[in-house]
């Protein structure tokens, strides 16, 4: 395993008995079997016991707020910069300074003051029916608003966190007026009113209800490795093509799975050790493979299912912008009547 710094090497090399013992309490919205190896390896390397509470992100955020100064939570693990922003605005995170994390995690994938750190990414790609759509017509997110796609596009609800983050990125790149025009065009091109999750958008292509959809990359990668109802038939996945938008421009919109140390963490040092552990090569593989995402540490390979989607240039926009623009994003959707 490639070692980044002396501090990281020291953490992982010392026998458990020689390291600080105790516990770390993790509130996580992740629920993947592969994460078990994350926790067991960390416990073995450090002697620190991992305690977990798992639930939906909004439930965990509200729980930490309700627990206040008496919260036992040391770490909050969740997804999407929008949710991280909500948690941070509620005072849930505290700043962390770590040479390991600053060296290993790209600057745009972490909070500028160390409130949270991204440990895996997902791309927001455009998927299409190969029999109905020319991929040359959907090379940019802006193309989704082109009238030539009228009646073909399926998306999630405008209140969905992924849709909000994508719009927040459009606001940052285009400005509010152009972002509003884009939202109007996208809404006019809908094949049906928004419904379901990302997998439902892909199923819409497989069933012929949609010809174009927007979804996170890991939803499609799952179809190659698991029995995803409605996409289990190889003919269904073969029917669907993928485009990574804006390769000649800013790059494809990405978001994160991330974690931060809770403001009143009773085991702060152990919490930082765990976050630093998530930046090791081995942990990066477990963390990213658990949800078919992309590792953030340079040189760590993604899973075979993710690699099969192809390489792409990712937008390097600081993800904190997605949270800062979230309210504007929802206001624009509301203004144009996007459900």
Binding-site residues for Fe cation sit at 31, 218-219
Beta strand extents in 157-298 (DSSP E only): 212-216, 240-243, 254-261, 294-295
| Of the candidates 54, 58, 191, 74, the residue with the CA atom closest to the CA atom of residue 129 | 191
The whole-angstrom separation of Cα 282 and Cα 275 is: 13
The whole-angstrom separation of Cα 101 and Cα 280 is: 10
Helix 268-278 to helix 281-289 angle (10° resolution) is 80
Torsion sign across C-alpha atoms 214, 217, 223, 226: negative
Tokens of 67: 């627990």
- H or E element in which residue 337 lies: none
**How many CB atoms are located within 10 Å of the residue 130 CB?**
13
Provide the CB-side half-sphere exposure for 204 (13 A, CA): 27
The whole-angstrom separation of Cα 72 and Cα 57 is: 17
Tokens of 130: 């190969």
User: From the annotation, which residues make up the binding site?
Assistant: 31, 218-219
């Amino acid at each position: 395993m490639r070692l980044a710094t002396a501090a990281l090497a020291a953490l992982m090399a010392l026998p458990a008995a020689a390291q600080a013992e105790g516990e770390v309490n993790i509130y996580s919205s992740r629920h993947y079997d592969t994460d078990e190896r994350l926790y067991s390896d960390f416990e073995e390397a450090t002697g620190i016991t991992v305690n977990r509470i798992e639930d939906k992100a909004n439930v965990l955020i509200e729980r930490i707020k309700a627990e206040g100064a008496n919260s036992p939570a040391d770490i909050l693990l969740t997804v999407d910069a929008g949710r991280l922003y909500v948690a941070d605005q509620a005072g849930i995170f505290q700043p962390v300074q770590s040479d390991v994390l600053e060296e290993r995690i790209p600057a745009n994938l972490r909070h500028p003051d160390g409130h949270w750190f991204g440990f895996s990414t997902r791309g927001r790609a455009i998927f299409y029916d190969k029999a109905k759509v020319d991929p040359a017509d959907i090379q940019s997110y802006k193309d989704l608003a082109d009238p030539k796609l009228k009646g073909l596009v399926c998306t999630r609800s405008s209140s969905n966190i992924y849709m909000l983050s994508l719009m927040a990125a459009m606001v940052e790149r285009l400005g509010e007026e152009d972002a509003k025009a884009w939202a109007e065009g996208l809404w006019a091109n809908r094949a049906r009113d928004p419904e379901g999750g990302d997998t439902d958008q892909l199923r819409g292509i497989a069933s012929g209800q949609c010809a174009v959809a927007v979804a996170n990359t890991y939803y499609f990668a799952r179809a190659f490795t698991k029995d995803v109802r409605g996409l289990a038939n190889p003919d269904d996945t073969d029917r669907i093509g993928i485009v990574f938008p804006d390769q000649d421009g800013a790059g494809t919109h990405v978001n994160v799975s991330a974690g931060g140390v809770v403001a009143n963490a009773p085991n702060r040092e152990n919490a930082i050790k765990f976050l630093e552990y998530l930046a090791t090569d081995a942990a990066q593989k477990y963390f990213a493979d658990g949800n078919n995402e992309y590792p953030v540490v340079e040189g760590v390979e993604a899973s075979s299912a993710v690699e099969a989607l192809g390489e792409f240039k990712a937008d390097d926009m600081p993800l904190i912008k997605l949270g800062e623009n979230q309210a504007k994003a929802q206001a624009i959707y509301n203004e144009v009547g996007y459900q």
